[in-house]
Amino acid sequence: MTTAVQLLVFILVILSTLLVVGIPVTLASPGQWEKSKKLVYTSAGIWAGLVIITGVVNSFIA
Local structure of residue 30 (DSSP, 8 states): T
Maximum alpha-carbon separation in the chain: 47
As a whole number, mean pLDDT of residues 21-31 equals: 91
Q: Alpha carbon of 15 to those of 9, 29, 30, 31: distances in Å? A: 10, 21, 24, 24
Percent of the chain surpassing pLDDT 70: 98
Q: Which residues, including other chains, have CB under 8 Å from residue 53's CB and lie 6 or more apart?
A: 8
What residue segments make up the domains of the chain, in order of their start? 38-62
pLDDT digits (tens, 9 = 90+) for 4-23: 999 999 999 999 999 999 99
